[in-house]
Chain A
Amino acid sequence: MVPEWIDIAVRSIFFVVVLFLITKLLGKKQISELSFFEYATGISIGNIGAEVAIGLERNIFHGIIGIVIFAAIPFLSGLLSLKSKKFRDFVEGTGTVFIKDGKIMEDNLKKERYTLDELLQLLRKKDVYQVADVEFAELEPTGDLSVMLKKENQPLTAKDLNLTVASIKEPQSVIMDGVIMDEPLATIGRSRAWLHTELEKLGVTVENVFLGQINSYGELTVDLFDDQLQVASPQERPLILSTLKKCQADLELFALGTKSKEAKQMYSKSSEKLQEAIDKVMPILKG
């Protein structure tokens, strides 16, 4: 007979592996526990695992059957939910509207057994202190409150201000812990040699870089291990903008200065065209 403690150790390791595989199989949805169903099955799977790992009188095989069934049903119901909206509403639940058109729906609050204090608490979690600011709020099946503020209370966006902003792509992290990451570097079509040149321009070595990122414009920004060192921020775009502005002003000056009518026309037309181009490219070069 093996000593009990060895049995427990073996069972524990075994069930850790089983639980790991099961959670991998069920995926992110199970972990985020979007519905009460997933929440309950998640707990049950964990409990069965723990019970069988410690309870020596239990049969390991029985434990596995239990875990597999508890994992399979949410898995299958997930597949079914993809197909049928009705099934989805039944299993995952639907939201309950708490505030509509800026008015609290008392009946719905009662139906979900939420008190006004709890509603206010949920609103505060969303940084809303005054119910009058809210246009619409819905209690999600997970118990979170989703809040849509009235338009005048929503944060100001570039669109509201009629501002043109340059669209950007996500930055890539190309150096981590002093090691060059080849995959993100390849994603943006850069080579190691290019990166070394950029680092040389900044006057740092790869080993000293804790994090290096390349932004949408191909500019490298770094965070160094040595926080005392100062690194220059990319200056190319502001420099282009200021040179463009200077040239535009120069052209205007030439237009004023010249006596030749033809040249005057050429200068002023050029300066106008350049001004137009500057206005268009400004959002890119400024940011």
Chain B
Amino acid sequence: MTVGSDVKQCLASLKGVEASLSSLAIRTQDNESKKTLHETMMVVNEIVTGLKKRVGELEREEFQYKGF
């Protein structure tokens, strides 16, 4: 296992969390909680974008692990 696959795994987990947060935000009745959940989702989304870029760089460096 390399750093590349670890980062990919983390990226996948974060994407999952982003989706869960989004669905939880939609289902939540209380507006305050809804907002907080949505904001958290946005933060996770930002991080996901950053990680995606990093995964691209890593793929260029370790070519054999390409696949995203």
Which chain A residues have a beta carbon within 8 Å of chain B's beta carbons?
166-169, 188, 216-218, 236-237, 239-240, 243-244, 246-247, 250-251, 253-254, 257-258, 260, 263, 266-267, 270, 273-274, 276-278, 280-281, 284
Contact B6 A273, beta carbon cutoff 8 Å: no
Q: Evaluate contact between B10 and A217: CB separation under 8 angstroms.
A: no
Specify which chain A residues have a CB less than 8 angstroms from the CB of B32 in the assembled complex: 166-167
How many chain B residues touch A (CB < 8 A): the figure is 31
Q: Which residues of B contact A (CB under 8 A)?
A: 3, 6-7, 9-10, 13-14, 16-17, 20-21, 24, 27-30, 32-33, 36-37, 39-40, 43-44, 46-47, 50-51, 53-54, 57
Q: Are B46 and A273 in contact (CB under 8 A)?
A: yes
Contact A250–B6 (Cβ < 8 Å): yes
User: Closest 3 interchain pairs by CB?
Assistant: A218-B27, A169-B29, A277-B43
A-B contact count (CB 8 A): 90
The answer on a CB contact under 8 Å between A277 and B14 is: no
Q: Evaluate whether A281 and B37 lie within 8 angstroms (CB atoms) in the complex, with A236-B20, A254-B10 already known.
A: yes
Closest B residue, CB atoms, query A277:
B43
Tell me the complex Cα distance, A273–B46, Å.
9
A residues in contact with B36, CB < 8 Å = 166, 280-281, 284
Given A263-B57, A273-B47, residue A281 in contact with residue B40 (CB < 8 A)? yes
